[in-house]
Amino acid sequence: MELTNISTIKDVMTRNGVSFTKSLGQNFLINPAVCPKIAELGGCKKGAAAIEIGTGVGVLTKELAIRCDRVLAVEIDERLKPVLDETLAEYDNIEIVFADILKTDVNALITEKLSGYSDIVVCANLPYYITSPVIMKLLEERPPIRSVTVMVQKEAAERLCAKVGSRECGAVTAAVNYYSTPKLLFKVGRGSFMPSPNVDSAVIRLDIPEKPRFDVTDEKLFFRIVRSSFAQRRKQILNPLSSALGIGKAELAKMLEECGIKPTARPEELKMEDIVALCEKISSAK
């Protein structure tokens, strides 16, 4: 079944009484070049397992199933079950769990369904209303996955893949860089989806190292520093950091200088190594 064909999608949905639900971010891919590219660049290969978030009618699921030994998908919309029974009937290596990914224990799911696989990747065309929470969940809960390759809104992709220490960098950029190495792979125009959204998209890949990228003694403190430094992105970090951490301005200014950071620095001037150094300095002073 050609799942990028508009009449095929409409037909299978209508026959099963399913309509598009905008609030679930249901914009399905209809550009035939995109899903194979996500699967290839997302590391799908023999011996590997893929986790998909949000199957829609199964257009990407199918490309993952062709390349990987096993596909485990999490889809919130149970109305899609009869549709997927039809569209993915010829693949016996796919299992779909109908659940909200944000309420799913991904580690437990992997232990239950993908034990025996050491090469596990996540590939998805994410519903945009939960892009950041899904990405942060996958990184923070540290499931045993090698990479996360996802379609997100173009502006989100640019923010997530910005250089830390640039004007485009935000708290989420620093957080993602703490756990992974992000890369913007390719852009996808709004016309590649049905219904067509009013924004363009891009596919990014977050490569997750086996060992953490940075040595941080107190992770909670690290993320408090990130959140408060970037709370006002164009302002100097000294004031917000001082009040968030309860450290006097003079003392904090000295600590910043000892870490090679100017006390007048703005968040866009901070590199990952600077944030890590400051975190270690503050932890050791406690």
Residues at the site binding ligand SAM, with contacts judged by CB under 6 A: 24-29, 53-56, 59-60, 74-77, 100-102, 125, 127, 130
- Give me the least distance between CB of 126 and ligand SAM, in Å please: 6
Q: Could you tell me the smallest distance in angstroms from the CB atom of residue 239 to ligand SAM?
A: 37
Q: Which is nearer to ligand SAM, 39 or 256 (CB)?
A: 39
What is the enclosing helix (H) or strand (E) of 95?
strand 94-98
Of residues 88 and 241, the one with the C-beta less far from ligand SAM: 88
CB of 68 to ligand SAM, least distance (A): 15
Q: Quick one: 18 or 277, whose CB is closer to ligand SAM?
A: 18
Tokens of 282: 């503050």
CB of 279 to ligand SAM, least distance (A): 32
List Cβ neighbours of 55 (8 Å cut-off, separation of 6 or more): 61, 73, 75, 80, 84, 96
CA distance 61 to 80: 13
Closest approach of ligand SAM to the CB of residue 163, in Å: 28
* 19 versus 115: smaller Cβ distance to ligand SAM: 19
How many Å apart are CA 183 and CA 204, to the nearest integer? 6
Peptide bond into 195 cis (omega under 30): yes
Nearer to ligand SAM, 76 or 135 (CB): 76
Look up tokens 């905008």; give the residue. 22
> Residue 88 Cβ, how far from ligand SAM at the closest point, in Å?
12
- Least distance to ligand SAM, CB of residue 104, Å: 8
> Which residue, 27 or 147, is less far from ligand SAM as judged by CB?
27
CB nearer to ligand SAM: give 102 or 250. 102
Q: What is the pairing mode between strands 147-153 and 120-125?
A: parallel
Which residue, judged by CB position, is nearest to ligand SAM in the bound state?
A: 54
**Exposure class string for 198-223: b at 16+ Cβ within 10 A, else e:** eebbbbbbbebeeeeeeebeeeebbb
How far apart, in whole angstroms, are the C-alpha atoms of residue 149 and residue 123?
Answer: 5
Pairing of strands 147-153, 201-207: antiparallel
Q: Angle 219-230/171-179 helices, nearest 10 degrees? A: 150
Distance, in Å, from the CA atom of 137 to the CA atom of 173, rounded to the nearest integer, reads: 15
